[in-house]
Chains A and B, each alone.
Chain A
């Protein structure tokens, strides 16, 4: 019996190749997309979960003026002493860039973690060589990741070899580990013993080095509340009463690190869980669309196969046997789609790093939990798409089906129409989503920045003393239109300090960003002056230009009235000499903060150049040569301002790319189904078209006859999709401090796109039907 079902299934596929193709191809794309999205979402939502103590591990952070993930290195020995119940306390200092020398070769490398000897007991890595307990115990030791060890030493044993970091210290390789997983909040490639650099830190509680992180591990069955309860006393003891009143040390669960967007100074920019829930929702919509196709095409085919059902019933087939037969056929198609879907997903995953910026190994598709999900997905798809058509077909009355008198309807509005409405609604929601994400991305990177970012290149200055020499060289470069030296260009923020305005009645410290800039900065970056004067070369350290947010913070609304006011910045009294319009120095996830601009050439660690776009490549080459001549021991690197800003939104960019890709797939799958349905409808109505043509109907009127129905369906779908799409995307936008408003034009585009897509899909088939010779179509009946 089973054999018979499969024989029938295969022969049916062969006989109805175009139908099977539409079905299987749609489902294949759907399954492949679902698998890829599943792995992406799983990868993102399981950040740091690979550590077996992840549920008991917390990051000790600081909340004084703002949430800060960095903390004093002095806290580590103090915590070990004051919290003896903790299983582990470990220190890690993260440094993004570094120069490595191996023999005579130099490498510009990224992601250095300086960790103490307790670190391997907290975080799980796969050790290929070396002893995790001792590898980081001595100064000047390093644990390399496998790919780095191979890069430097090839097939040679890397253990015991020596490399040099930052022209400063030699490091002996004491361990090799497998490359750390892509979904870690500490994505290091070098693990260096913390004791190597310990002496360089100022070990007091007030000093908070950028990049210093502390983790604790709670003993099993111990509540974090017990530790939290002791924190205020701990702060009081080490920082004093005043600080204890306004600061806390939030203990952040390790698994939340990747998702807590209050902390911006993480190694990996945090993202929102909602974003991945939305992506998961897209996967669901895709598979629903694919199943709807299946149901629509199968029920359409069912009418064609009614006679077969009649014959089988006459020959003694029971309803159960027929349901089993049709489910069997669905199973064959779904399995076919499944195998192709898995193949496409694995091919895609090998390229996903380039396309989506994710690093997921295709071998994950073979993991037991993924296999279980695939099995679950298969059963779900078989039941979703097979059960209804199977019931419909098995319920045909033999007498009717032998006479081809069957029809499928549920209470006037056919189910198929309902499903088509659902499909249109899904594609419209996805179109709305894609437009909103695209507009928000454009808003992020190009709108309301408050400064000019085009054709600006920024280069670091390793030695401030040689800044003037570099300036003279750069001024002679014809491709450079303008130059500005500063501690940080507008989109770079690193230096924060307290400010207050006691005279104006604001004695409480607030936080401000402090940028040291030269006299060209405001003009070159196109910052807008609202009052007073720009920063000048002869300004003293007591003259500052501030932004709008700062004056609002101290209760001044009119920029003119701020000029001449005294404020305290970092404990120094300064006078406001100018007010500049707010500009975006951090990502738009955060509200703009107060900013103080002042002239101080001793902090000019960065030079920004406005380059003539036509001579970009050549100019950067020249700058590189001149720069290297002045700083021969360092490696030249540069960054475009555009890239820097785009970097703030890398997570969103990833999601946007994924959203665009998968929305297109969902829409394509919907089109396949629509194409199948309309070709079926056209073939069903051949006789009607023939009669209408004999009676004088024009091509246009016949096309209109078919299109009318779909226009109504698109309209109904729109009334479902518009509020849903608005609700979903408006919720997503709430993740950002600055965001676009979803306007009516978004919905106009969505419904228009729906019409265009449907028209293109159906026009060919309908025109073909309308142009057919009526004599032939009447004879065929």
Chain B
């Protein structure tokens, strides 16, 4: 599904140039669950942003489903993103002014799904995430664990092929964290490819493979058995 080759990303200020990704290459197959680990500043989030087409690389190639997307313009990236990729963030990133139902509905609105179909699909996914009873609540009325369930519901409602999770349990206690990891595992078992950035060895163990980064380069890969 994903093949990146010699990917480079620099951050420049007037005086300093920082290398975030240094000729990084990797592949992720369809249906895989990959964890990316490494110390702060190693380039994990930069990599995730590029994989999610939120940012573009300075050099190198990024093939997504055999299409070169490294130098797509914003509109093309947005189009590809909304049909193929779901995001889960550490800080949930729910919109405070929208209810649980409306937050989950949002990606369907942007992909032009008709209203009746939207209601059906949102209810389906809320049911699956066991958060249906909170459908009319606002994010700030929910616990952290519930908010992350809503965020996951929102990430999967469009049935994306790939879910990118950026430290999805970082703001949760261990019990809620485990629940979230179970959910991601279930999704993966149903065929969704998952790439997750994490600091937690515990969470990484849910994955099939761990890629460890240091200074923008892959330093090790562990296959989980």
Per the bound structure, the CA–CA distance linking A11 and B94 in Å amounts to: 15
Give the size of the chain B interface in residues (CB under 8 angstroms): 26
B173 at the binding interface (Cβ < 8 Å): no
A404 to chain B, nearest CB (A): 10
Contacts of B94 in A (CB 8 A): 311
B97 at the binding interface (Cβ < 8 Å): yes
B182 at the binding interface (Cβ < 8 Å): no
Q: Is the CB of A399 within 8 A of B49?
A: yes
Interface hub of A307, A311, A317, A399 (most chain B Cβ within 10 A):
A311
A353 at the binding interface (Cβ < 8 Å): no
Per the bound structure, the CA–CA distance linking A595 and B143 in Å amounts to: 92
Question: Which one of A11, A315, A398 lies within 8 Å of B106 (CB-CB)?
Answer: A315
Using a Cβ cutoff of 8 Å, how many contacts connect chains A and B? 62
Per the bound structure, the CA–CA distance linking A155 and B110 in Å amounts to: 67
Question: Which one of A1, A308, A319, A398 lies within 8 Å of B95 (CB-CB)?
Answer: A308
Contacts of B82 in A (CB 8 A): 315-316
A351 at the binding interface (Cβ < 8 Å): no
A318 at the binding interface (Cβ < 8 Å): yes
Q: Knowing A316-B81, A399-B49 touch, does A4 contact B109 (C-beta < 8 A)?
A: yes
Q: Knowing A15-B97, A308-B95, A399-B55 touch, does A314 contact B109 (C-beta < 8 A)?
A: no
A358 at the binding interface (Cβ < 8 Å): no
Question: Which one of A1, A4, A15 lies within 8 Å of B96 (CB-CB)?
Answer: A15
Per the bound structure, the CA–CA distance linking A307 and B109 in Å amounts to: 19
B11 to chain A, nearest CB (A): 11
A325 to chain B, nearest CB (A): 11
Q: Is the CB of A7 within 8 A of B95?
A: no
Per the bound structure, the CA–CA distance linking A311 and B97 in Å amounts to: 13
B26 at the binding interface (Cβ < 8 Å): no
Per the bound structure, the CA–CA distance linking A317 and B93 in Å amounts to: 15
Per-position 1/0 for A285-315, Cβ under 8 A of B: 0000000000000000000000110111111
Contacts of B75 in A (CB 8 A): 318-319
Q: Is the CB of A316 within 8 A of B95?
A: no
Q: Is the CB of B52 within 8 A of A8?
A: no
Per the bound structure, the CA–CA distance linking A316 and B97 in Å amounts to: 18
Contacts of A1 in B (CB 8 A): 109
B57 at the binding interface (Cβ < 8 Å): no
A321 at the binding interface (Cβ < 8 Å): yes
Question: Which one of A307, A308, A315, A319 lies within 8 Å of B107 (CB-CB)?
Answer: A315
A12 at the binding interface (Cβ < 8 Å): yes
Residue in B closest to A314 when the chains form the complex, CB atoms: B87
Contacts of A100 in B (CB 8 A): none
Q: Is the CB of B98 within 8 A of A8?
A: yes
Contacts of A315 in B (CB 8 A): 82, 87, 106-107, 110, 154
Instruction: Give the residues from 69 to 102 in chain B that come closer than 8 angstroms, CB to CB, to chain A.
Output: 74-75, 78, 81-83, 87, 89, 93-98, 102
Q: Is the CB of B98 within 8 A of A313?
A: no
B104 to chain A, nearest CB (A): 10
Q: Is the CB of B78 within 8 A of A313?
A: yes
Q: Is the CB of A7 within 8 A of B110?
A: no
B43 to chain A, nearest CB (A): 14
Instruction: Give the residues from 151 to 168 in chain B that come closer than 8 angstroms, CB to CB, to chain A.
Output: 154, 158
B54 at the binding interface (Cβ < 8 Å): yes
Contacts of B65 in A (CB 8 A): none
Contacts of A402 in B (CB 8 A): 89, 93
Instruction: Give the residues from 23 to 68 in chain B that come closer than 8 angstroms, CB to CB, to chain A.
Output: 49, 52, 54-55
Per-position 1/0 for A612-638, Cβ under 8 A of B: 000000000000000000000000000
Contacts of A398 in B (CB 8 A): 54
Q: Knowing A7-B98, A307-B93 touch, does A314 contact B54 (C-beta < 8 A)?
A: yes
Per the bound structure, the CA–CA distance linking A470 and B49 in Å amounts to: 101
Instruction: Give the residues from 208 to 224 in chain B that come closer than 8 angstroms, CB to CB, to chain A.
Output: none
14 sample A-B contacts, Cβ–Cβ < 8 Å, listed by A number: A7-B102, A8-B97, A11-B97, A15-B96, A311-B93, A313-B54, A313-B78, A314-B52, A315-B82, A315-B106, A316-B110, A398-B54, A399-B49, A402-B93
Binding site for A on B (CB under 8 A): 49, 52, 54-55, 74-75, 78, 81-83, 87, 89, 93-98, 102, 106-107, 109-111, 154, 158
Q: A1-B109, A15-B96, A312-B106 are in contact. List 14 more A-B contacts (CB 8 A).
A: A7-B102, A8-B95, A310-B93, A311-B95, A312-B95, A313-B78, A314-B87, A315-B107, A316-B78, A316-B81, A316-B82, A316-B83, A397-B55, A402-B89
